[in-house]
Structure 1
Amino acid sequence: MAEEVLHQLNLSPELPAAVKDVAIAQGENDDIKCELVEQLRNLIFEKGDFTAHRTDDEYLIKFLRARYWNVELAYKLLSNYYSFRNANKNLYDDVRCVDLMSLAEQEIVTVTPYREKNGRRIMILRFGTWDPNNMPIDDILRLTLIILELGSMEPISQIGGGIGIFDLSGLTINQARYLTPSIAQKIIALIVTSSPLRTAAIHIVNQSWLFSTIIKVFKPFLNARMREKLFVHGNDMNSLHEHINPKYLPKRYGGLQEHSVFPLSLWTDSLKADEKVRWELETLGYNVSEC
């Protein structure tokens, strides 16, 4: 039976017992947590490599969790995060949430409102449904950015990370030609090197002969660890099911969830009503006045 679908972020700082056990295994220790947060905050002020828009405990903890409480690595992640923001201001400046929600209705990027057995949400990107004549690729990046920002607010996701499914069904040469090395570098930065939301795995499904060309563009930006997290399944959904139980997948991927897709627009009402979410997005520079 499919799990109940609730389109809500879980922002509770209280961790379920199973998730807490994972957090402890990753190095989270209440006895030294405050000390490590303070060490990271001091590094930010001492080195001065970037200007963080927030340095409160809650904000810094998600970067420490992303790097298993290694202060130096968490600092490097923060530095990458702000370097990406400064180098790609066009993806942040004058971005209105209401515009992104209208893009979300096209269902190119969707997120499951439930979690799989390890507590991870699944982001699905269906590039074959994208019309580059009506939507610049930067809009897809903007939409992906805000999804990752929202996901990184959830303590459970900070610990478990997320899963990506790249569905290349229907991908054409006209679409593939926009996946340049520059865009590939930005996508990898978004999901690997510059986001506090860890990527646990990326699954490629329904790829055509074009994939061999596309992967050559991406490979230079994939480190050895990320290559180990990349799985290519083609049309073999049984292969995908070896990694993700069908009970957590939409029907289009041989799953048991009743819906084929989960439009981001279904998240809108709960996000509108959550003052904490609105505040966090505002601190990042997003225009939420019309959301």
Structure 2
Amino acid sequence: MSCIKRYECTLSPKLLEKAVKELNEPRDNEKRLQAIDELRNNYDAEKFGPLVREDDEFFLRFLRAKKFNQKKALTVLQNYHNVKKEFKEVFGKVNNPAVLTPIIEKEVMMMLPGVAKNGAAVMLSRHGLIDKDMDIYDFMAYGVFSMEKLLEDEAIQINGIATIKDLENFNMTFFTKISPLALGKMTKVWQEAMPMRYKESHVVNEGTFYDVIMAIVRPFLKKKLLDRIHLHGTNFKGIHEFIDPSILPPYLDGTGPDPDGLAKLWGETLMEDMPQDTAL
């Protein structure tokens, strides 16, 4: 422990207040460090393998995701390590992100400039840009890699994430390649193993095929997550209730930046710290 640099709180007063009130985060840093140490010490390395990271910041994201409930945070932490071992098809690529360069260059995902009305960061994904021949595990790894990047930001750990999924021109052939086993595993990753606060999900241009997708996915989703899904079809103004149009791209009836520029910027963000790995 002596070689580990301890966490020092640099949150703005407003963000700290939100963490204290909404996430039960200790205002006092010594008590925060005690909570981190408790989580670290309770981790079962014999059962779930060695910790992938041991710095305070790593444990803190799990505590925040579960409002400093030690039991729940420990479950997610151990699930996180478990899926890394059990779902090599995805996490082998997350751990070797150079292989994800082609899909990153497709510019499917992007972060909008600003936050939703509830303070959550907003990620827009244009699923119509997914090639029907794309490896499904590449796409899953791309999503996990993006979320890992987002979790580096303490504001996002505290405020959470909102998503907008644009399904215009989405090719159902891609979705049908997902086996029920893989779908179940991936759903478990998002719901039980990622220390992220999912605030809301908006779906646009979903079309009638969305019912087919949901019929397959619904059994794997918890009611809490299902309740946070909002369908908008082509009525983009419905999103404005949740997200100010000033940060939405013009094609979603917003006055924000062009999505292509945002997608390029997000791709550069993902690749800027990418190690020069050898492809698997």
- Does the CA contact (< 8 Å) of 1:50 and 1:79 recur in 2? no
Alpha-carbon distance in structure 2 between the residues aligned to 1:262 and 1:21? 34
Amino acid at match of 1:233: H
Residue of 17, 26, 45 corresponding to 1:21: 17
The alignment's C-alpha RMSD in Å is 2.5
Secondary structure (helix, strand or coil) at the match of 2:43 reads helix
Amino acid at match of 2:14: A
Name structure 1 gaps, 5 residues minimum.
1-11, 279-286
Amino acid at match of 1:221: F
Identify the structure with the greater helix proportion.
Answer: 2
Cα distance 1:242–1:186, how it changes in 2: closer, same or farther (>3 A)?
farther
Cα distance 1:54–1:98, how it changes in 2: closer, same or farther (>3 A)?
closer
Alpha-carbon distance in structure 1 between the residues aligned to 2:136 and 2:87? 13
Q: CA deviation at 1:164?
A: 1.3
Q: Does 1:126 align with 2:147?
A: no
Indicate the percent of aligned positions where both proteins have the same amino acid.
24
**Equivalences, count:** 267
Which of structures 1 and 2 has the larger relative contact order (alpha carbons within 8 angstroms, sep 6+)? 1
- Does the CA contact (< 8 Å) of 1:250 and 1:261 recur in 2? no
Alpha-carbon distance in structure 2 between the residues aligned to 1:123 and 1:166? 8
1:108-154: per-residue Cα shift (whole Å, max 9, x none)? 22222533344422222222221122x21111111111111111111
Amino acid at match of 2:148: E
Name structure 2 gaps, 5 residues minimum.
1-7
Secondary structure (helix, strand or coil) at the match of 1:124 reads strand
Q: CA deviation at 1:38?
A: 1.4
Which residue of structure 2 aligns with residue 247 of structure 1? 246
Cα distance 1:263–1:191, how it changes in 2: closer, same or farther (>3 A)?
farther
1:43-82: per-residue Cα shift (whole Å, max 9, x none)? 1158744421223211101100010000110000111111
Amino acid at match of 1:252: Y
Secondary structure (helix, strand or coil) at the match of 1:156 reads helix
Cα distance 1:141–1:46, how it changes in 2: closer, same or farther (>3 A)?
closer
- Does the CA contact (< 8 Å) of 1:104 and 1:263 recur in 2? no
- Does the CA contact (< 8 Å) of 1:113 and 1:262 recur in 2? no
- Does the CA contact (< 8 Å) of 2:109 and 2:123 recur in 1? yes
